[in-house]
């Protein structure tokens, strides 16, 4: 049995479908996990939540009026640039020197995933390794699909390409001909949830299961905002 039997029993069930509300808010869930996580696993938890930080940083820098509490930084820390993680500080340094990419936040996500993957490999966290690699390749695949008929070099939109090869043909067949961006994003996020469950492993009380739960809760939390006008950038760039 895994080390997190008590915590796993405290966590609420995730919604049965995208668009339904979480029983507890995402910030409440992350507070619960922080309260019960073992000190030795704290850095892996922060690595998982760095995805929330990256999404929030991209949102704030682009002037979007949305911030999801529950990452490693609160809004005030981001706005005043206090306690920034290394990957955001590196992004700011590179941005000041001039990032030569069509979409500069591809570099933010690249740095985020590099840091996350390095921590996962250092700690031999199977879930974070397997899912992060899959998410990187999904992001690159979606960028390729989005720009396959556009001029320019698709390599300029890829991040950490060639880590591993996945077959996304089934996903493409479901997206092909889909003219509604919101429904396309629903298909993609459903695929993410399926992969999260696959990568978490069989032990429902392990650290892998806790981190996978947070990843799923993050996706469901975004779908609670359906009353907000849809932002096409969420589909193109994947937000996490």
Q: Which H/E stretch holds residue 219?
A: helix 207-222
pLDDT (tens digit per residue) in 48-70: 999 999 999 999 999 988 899 99
Domain limits at 219? 5-237
Task: Tell me the average pLDDT of the chain.
Answer: 89
Q: DSSP readout, 50-116?
A: HHHHHHHHHHHHTT-S---TTSSS-HHHHHHT-S--HHHHHHHHHHHH---SSSTHHHHHHHHHHHH
Does residue 231 register a pLDDT over 70? no
Domain count, the chain: 1
Of the ranges 15-24, 38-47, 139-148, 168-177, which is most confident?
A: 38-47
End-to-end CA distance of the chain: 30
Rounded CA separation 212/89 (Å) = 27
Q: Report which of 209, 103, 190 is spatially closest to residue 138, judged by C-alpha positions.
A: 190
How does pLDDT run across 112-163, given as a tens digit for each residue?
999 999 999 999 999 999 999 999 999 998 888 777 656 656 666 788 876 7
pLDDT band at 35 (very low <50, low <70, confident <90, very high): very high
Q: Which of 16-25, 112-121, 172-181 has the lowest mean pLDDT?
A: 172-181
With beta carbons less than 8 A apart as the criterion, state whether 139 and 107 touch. no
Q: Which residues contact 186 (CB under 8 A, 6 or more apart)?
A: 18
Q: Report pLDDT for 10.
A: 95
pLDDT at 98 over 60: yes
């Amino acid at each position: 049995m895994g080390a997190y039997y008590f915590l796993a029993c405290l966590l609420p069930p995730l919604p049965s479908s995208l668009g339904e509300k979480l029983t507890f808010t995402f910030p409440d869930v992350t507070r619960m996990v922080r309260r019960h996580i073992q000190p030795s696993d704290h850095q892996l938890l922060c690595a998982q939540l760095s995805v929330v930080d990256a999404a929030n940083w991209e949102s704030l820098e682009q002037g979007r009026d949305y911030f999801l509490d529950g990452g490693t930084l609160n809004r005030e820390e981001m706005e005043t640039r206090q306690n920034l993680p290394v990957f955001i500080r590196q992004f700011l340094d590179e941005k000041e020197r001039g990032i030569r990419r069509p979409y500069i936040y591809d570099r933010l996500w690249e740095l985020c995933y590099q840091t996350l993957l390095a921590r996962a490999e250092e700690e031999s966290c199977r879930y974070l390794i397997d899912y992060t690699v899959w998410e990187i390749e999904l992001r690159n695949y979606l960028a390729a699909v989005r720009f396959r008929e556009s001029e320019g070099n698709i390599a300029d939109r890829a991040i950490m390409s060639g880590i591993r090869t996945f077959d996304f043909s089934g996903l493409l067949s479901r997206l092909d001909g889909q003219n509604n961006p919101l429904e396309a994003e629903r298909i993609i996020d459903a695929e993410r949830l399926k992969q999260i469950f696959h990568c978490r492993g069989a032990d429902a009380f392990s650290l892998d299961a806790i981190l996978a739960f947070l990843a799923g809760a993050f996706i469901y939390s975004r779908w609670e905002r359906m009353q907000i006008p849809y932002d096409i950038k969420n589909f193109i760039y994947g937000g996490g």
